[in-house]
Chain A
Amino acid sequence: MDNLNRRPRIGVYICHCGINIGSVVDVPGLVEYASRLPGVVVAREYTYMCSDPGQNLVKEDIKNEGLNRVIVASCSPRMHEPTFRKTLKEAGLNPYYLEMANIREQCSWVHPDKEQATHKARKLVEAAVVKAMLLEALEEKEVDVIPACLVIGAGIAGIQASLDIADAGFKVYLVEKTPSVGGRMAQLDKTFPTLDCSACILTPKMVDVANHPNIELMSYSQLESIEGYVGNFKATVRKKARFVNFNTCTGCGVCAENCRLAGRIPNEFDENIGMRGAIYLPFPQAVPAKYTIDPERCLQLTKGKCGKEGPACAAACGPGSIDFEQEDELVEIEIGTVIVATGYDVFDCTRKPEYGWEDIDNVMTGLEFERLVSASGPTGGHVILGRDKKGEGGYEPKKVAFIHCVGSRDKSVGNEYCSRVCCMYLAKQAHLVRDKLPDADIAVFYMDVRAFGKGFEEFYDRVRREGVRYIRGNPSEIYRTGEDHTVVIKVEDTLTGTPMEYEADLVVLGVGLEPRRDVREIIDLFKLSQSTDGFFMEAHPKLRPVDTASDGVYLAGCCQGPKDIPDTVAQAKGAASSALILMAYGKVKVEALVSVVSPDECRGCGFCMEVCPFGAIELVDQNRMGNIVQVAQVNEALCKGCGSCAAACLSGAIQPRSFKDEQILPQIAVLGVRI
C-alpha cells in the first residue's frame, strides 16, 4: 500500500471560509499552533479550501512535500469530506488519509467569543492530527451484480415489478406461495373509484408474467433460505409438490369434477365462503391454469385410500397427470437483487368479538363481500345470503350496513394506523349493493371519511347521492335477535348525539389491512425490520421508501404499509427501477469503512454477531496453535461500518475502520484535557 509504513507527514489546511471562520477564529494563530504539532510538516491557511486553488494547494503539497496525511480544518465533514477525499485521490494519495476538523458549524458559527472559539479550534485541529497519525489506507471495492432479480409474492406489486424488470431485459424469478398468481387484487370485484373490473385489468398481466421469456414463474413455491449480499445472493426455493404433472396438465378440470370431496372444502380464494374439492384451481382465471391437490385434505394423500375404486381424479384425467408420488423440489437460484412484495392479510375479526363475525353468518368482512359480489364468486355475483350446501335457496338482503375502521385506528386491537383503503372500498361496495339491489336500504357507519385520492371525493359524493346514508358513529355491538336474519347494530350517532339500534340483514365489516401473519419468516430470512405497525420498515420514511436497510432488497406494495392499487403499482415500479439501477450498471460499491477482526484476539463469543443489524458477521473455524476455535468474520459487502460490534466486543478484537479504539482514544486524550 502506498505509504503505509512511512512516518506520518501531515499537512494541515485551515480554511477562512470567507469571513465565516476567519472573523471569529484567529486563523494565522491557528496555523502557527498547528505547525508545531508533532508530525505536521506543512500548515497553511486559505480563503476557501474547497475552491480549485484551495484544493490545488493540497495537491501540490502532497507532491512537493511528500505529505501522507491531510487535515482540512473547515466546515463539517458531512459537507466537504467527499470533496477533499477526491482531492487526495487525484493527487495519488489514498482518500482515507484525510481527516477534517469541523471549525465552522461546530465552532466559529456557534461561539462568538474569539478567544474561546480559537482555543476550541486548536483543540479540534490537534485531535484531528493525533487521529490522522493512525489513519489507514482503505480500499474501495466494487462487486459484480448478478443480472437477475428475485421477486417474492405475485400479487399486483410483484407482477408489475417482474414485468418491468423483465421488459428491461433482466431475468426475474417470481416466487408465489399459492397455486396461482394474482394475489389480493384477483379476489376483488370492482376497483374504486373508476369501477374497473379488477379481474379484467389484472388477468392480462397475469398471463404476461407466465409467458414472458425473462420471467421464471415459480408458483406454489416458497423461499426456503437466502444468503449472500447485494449483487450476489444465493436463494433456495421450495417448489411444493402439486401431485399433478405440471407439464401435462391441460387445466381441463375433469379431475376436480370427479373429486369425491368436490364442493366440500372451503376455498381460501373465496375467503372460505365458496367451496372447492381436494384437487382444485383456486379460481377460473388462475395462472398457471394447472390443478393442485391439497395434501391436507386429499383422501388418497391423508388416508392412503380414496373410495373403493381408487382416486377418481386419476381415473378421470385424460393425460394421466395425477402423480401421488410427487415430492417437493428444492431449486437453487443466484440473483443480484430482491423485491419483497408479500402483501397483507385482512384484520382477523375474531379479535373484535363484539361484532359477532364468528357467530353470525350475515356479518362478513369486506373481502368476503368482494367474493360474494364477484361474477366469478360462489354466487355468480348475486347478492344472495344463506344458501344451503347445494347452493340453493337463500335470500336477498333488504337492509345493508357497512362499518368503517374495523381493526384500523383502534388501539384496543393494537392497530393505531389508518388502513387507507377501507373508506373507499366500502363506498364502492355500497355502490355495488345499490346497483344490484336498487330497493335496499344502505347505511354506512363511519368515524371519518378519508377520500384523499384522485377521484375519491367525487366518488364518495356520487355514492351518497345514490341514497346511501352515512351515519357518523362507531358501533359498540352487533348481535342477532330472534329467528330471522335480522342483525342489530348498536351505535351512537355522534353528530346528533342519539343512541340508535340499526337493524340490518347484511353487515359488511370494513376490515383493515394487517401485516401477513407469517411475516416473521421473511423478516428472519432478510433481517428486515418492522415499523411499529408491524409492516416492513423502509430505509427512510421520506427519501428511501422502497429501499430496506439491507442493500439490494426492496419493498413493494402492502408489505410496507397499507396502500391502494395505483400506489402499489407505483411503488412496484419504483422498486423495479431501484433494482434495475444496480443490475443495469452491473457493479456495486461496497462500503470501505467496514469492521475488521483480529482473529488471534477473538474469543468467538459471538456478541458482535448478535449485535450486527446487517447479519454481516459470522463465526468461522480458525486453527489456533493446533486447536480449532471459532472466530468472528466480517462479510465486507454486508457491513455498513456502524461499529456496534466494537462496543459489544470485550476483547477489542473487532474494530470499525477509521473509528478504531486506538484512533478514538488519542482524540479523547487531546479533547479531555481541561483548558
Chain B
Amino acid sequence: MVDESKLREKAAEVLAREDVRRLIGWKRGTYGFEAAPCVIKDASEAEALIFDPTCVQNPASFITLEEKKPVPRGQEADTRKIAVMVKGCDSRAIVQQLVEKAYDRDHVIVLGIPCLGVIDRRKAAALFGDVASQVSAKVDAEKVAVDVGGDVKTVDRKDILMDKCLRCRYPNPLVYDELLADEVEKWAGDEFADVGEFEGQSPEEKWAFWEEQFSKCIRCYSCRNVCPMCYCVECVVTKLQPQWTRRATDISENTVYHIQRAWHLAGRCIECMECQRVCPVDIPIMTLNRKLTRDVKEMFEYEPGVDVEAQPLLASYNPQDPEDFIM
C-alpha cells in the first residue's frame, strides 16, 4: 500500500518544479465508492491527494485532452510537463499513447503506484446499497476493508473489486519516472474464460443478448469520452461528411456505433474498463473489447500498451498471419 503522506510530499515536490504545469491525481469524492480525479496546479493543494481502492478513474485520459486546448492569440503555448499518477492499468494507456505518438515521453512525469485493486461501484452498491457518505478503503491480497462513514466492513476481494482487478496482470506500472511504493506481486493470470463462455453461444443467442444491450444505448458517448485511447480531433462517429452512423438511437445505428467503437480499439484497448464503468445504462461494453484483446493476443501474439517500442497492431503485419477464414 502506498503511504499517502509520501505521495503528497512527492506530488508537492513535483509541482514545485519550474517545468511542471499541473498534476493529475485523485482526491476524496463527495460521496460514494469512487474518488474524484483532480487536477492540481499548486504544491499547496497536494494535501488533498489520496490513493486507495476508490481511485478508480484512469487519469491518463486527461493527458491527451490537455494537448488540444487552444492558445489565445498573442500567448505562447504552455509546453510545461504534465505530472500524472497512474496505477498499473492506467500506465498501459500511457504506453499505448506513446506508441501512437500522442505526446513525447518527456512531456509527462509519471508517478507510478503499484495497485492491489479498485472498487467496482456496482458490486459495492449491491453490498452496501446507496451510500451518501464519504468512503475510503484498504485492500490487501485477500480482503478489502471498506470504511463507510466510519463504519468499517471487511469483504472478499471478488465481491467488491472490479473484474479487471481480479484478473490483473499488470498491477505495477509499466512506465514511470518514480514509483511511489514497493512493487506488488502479481496474483492472477487472465484466462479469458469469460470470452470463451460467451463464444460458446449460437449466433442467435449472441445477437439476442446484444440486441437487448444495444437497444438500451442512449448514445451519450460516455464510453468514448472516457476512453484514454479515444482522442481524435474529430470523432468519425459524429462526423457528418462522410456520415458513418446516423444519430438516431435505434438498434441499427447503435449496433454500428458499438462495432465501430470496438473496432477502433482493436489492438489498442488497454483494458482499463473505463467505458463499461461509466456506462449509464450498464451495457457490458468490455465484452466486445475483451474478445478482440483475446484474439489479438492469440492470433498475432500482440498485446497493446506494454511496450513503448511496439509497432501498432493494425499498422504492421506478419506474412505468416493466420488466414483460416480466407477463400
Contact = CB atoms under 8 A, between A and B. Distances in A.
Contacts of B314: 607, 648
Contacts of B68: 627
12 contacts: A600-B233, A606-B101, A606-B315, A607-B312, A607-B314, A627-B69, A648-B314, A652-B236, A660-B242, A661-B244, A662-B241, A665-B244
A337 B188 CA distance: 58
Interface in A629-671: 629-630, 648, 650-653, 660-662, 665
Contacts of B234: 601, 651
Contacts of B67: 627, 629
B231 A603 contact: yes
Given A604-B101, A628-B77, A648 B315 contact: yes
Contact of B315 (A607, A630, A665): A607
B232 A610 contact: no
Q: Which 4 A-B pairs have the closest CB atoms?
A: A626-B71, A625-B70, A610-B315, A662-B242
B311 interface: yes
Contacts of B243: 665
B286 to A, nearest CB: 20
A626 B233 contact: no
Nearest to B264: A650
Looking at A600, A619, A626, A653, the one whose CB has the most chain B CB atoms below 10 A away is: A626
A653 B239 CA distance: 11
B316 interface: yes
A662 B102 CA distance: 27
B233 A601 contact: yes
Interface string B185-198: 00000000000000
Nearest to A603: B232
A601 B77 contact: no
Given A603-B231, A603-B233, A665-B244, 4 more contacts: A603-B232, A607-B315, A610-B311, A662-B241
B100 A606 contact: yes
Contacts of B129: none
A665 B242 contact: yes
Given A611-B315, A630-B101, A651 B241 contact: no
A610 B235 contact: no
A592 to B, nearest CB: 22
B9 to A, nearest CB: 32
A523 interface: no
B271 to A, nearest CB: 18
Contacts of B77: 626-628
B80 to A, nearest CB: 13
Nearest to A644: B315
Contacts of B242: 652, 660-662, 665
Interface string B68-90: 11111101010000000000000
Contact of A605 (B72, B73, B102, B241): B102
A161 interface: no
Contacts of A241: none
A281 B99 CA distance: 49
Interface residues of B, number: 29
A396 B315 CA distance: 61
Contact of B235 (A602, A607, A625, A651): A651
Interface string B36-79: 00000000000000000000000000000001111111010100
Contacts of A603: 102, 231-233
Interface in B214-243: 231-236, 239, 241-243
A610 B100 contact: no
A158 B244 CA distance: 53
A611 B234 CA distance: 22
B197 to A, nearest CB: 30
B31 to A, nearest CB: 37
Interface residues of A, number: 27
Nearest to A604: B101
Interface in B94-139: 100-102
A92 to B, nearest CB: 29
Contacts of A604: 101-102
A614 B275 CA distance: 37
Contact of B75 (A601, A611, A626): A626
Interface string B303-314: 000000001101
A626 B72 contact: yes
Looking at A600, A648, A652, A665, the one whose CB has the most chain B CB atoms below 10 A away is: A652
B91 to A, nearest CB: 19
Contacts of A629: 67
A625 B102 contact: no
Interface in A590-614: 600-608, 610-611
Contacts of B233: 600-603, 651, 653
Contact of A627 (B70, B311, B315): B70
A627 B235 CA distance: 20
Nearest to B76: A626
Nearest to A665: B242
A350 B107 CA distance: 49
Interface string A213-254: 000000000000000000000000000000000000000000
B101 A627 contact: no
Contact of B101 (A601, A605, A628, A652): A605
A652 B235 CA distance: 9
A314 to B, nearest CB: 47
A629 B101 CA distance: 10
Nearest to B101: A606
A412 to B, nearest CB: 20
A309 B102 CA distance: 62
Looking at B67, B102, B234, B242, the one whose CB has the most chain A CB atoms below 10 A away is: B242
Nearest to A600: B233
Contacts of B244: 661, 665
A610 B244 CA distance: 25
Contact of B312 (A605, A619, A626, A662): A605
B232 A651 contact: yes
Nearest to B69: A627
A433 to B, nearest CB: 44
Contact of B71 (A610, A625, A648, A653): A625
A607 to B, nearest CB: 4
Contacts of A608: 315
A607 B312 CA distance: 7
A661 B239 CA distance: 12
A8 to B, nearest CB: 16
Contacts of B102: 603-605
Given A607-B315, A650-B236, A627 B241 contact: no
A627 B239 CA distance: 23
A610 B316 contact: yes
Nearest to A661: B242
A558 B77 CA distance: 55
A530 to B, nearest CB: 11
Interface string B234-277: 11100101111000000000000000000010000000000000
Nearest to A630: B101
A31 B233 CA distance: 45
Contacts of A650: 232, 236, 264
Interface string A315-338: 000000000000000000000000
Nearest to A610: B315
A632 B122 CA distance: 42
A392 to B, nearest CB: 55
Nearest to B234: A601
Contacts of A653: 233
A651 B101 contact: no
B95 to A, nearest CB: 14
Contacts of B315: 606-608, 610-611, 648
B232 A601 contact: yes
Contacts of B100: 605-607
A619 B241 CA distance: 25
A566 to B, nearest CB: 33
Contacts of B71: 625-627
Contacts of A605: 100-102, 312
Contacts of B75: 626
A662 B71 CA distance: 32
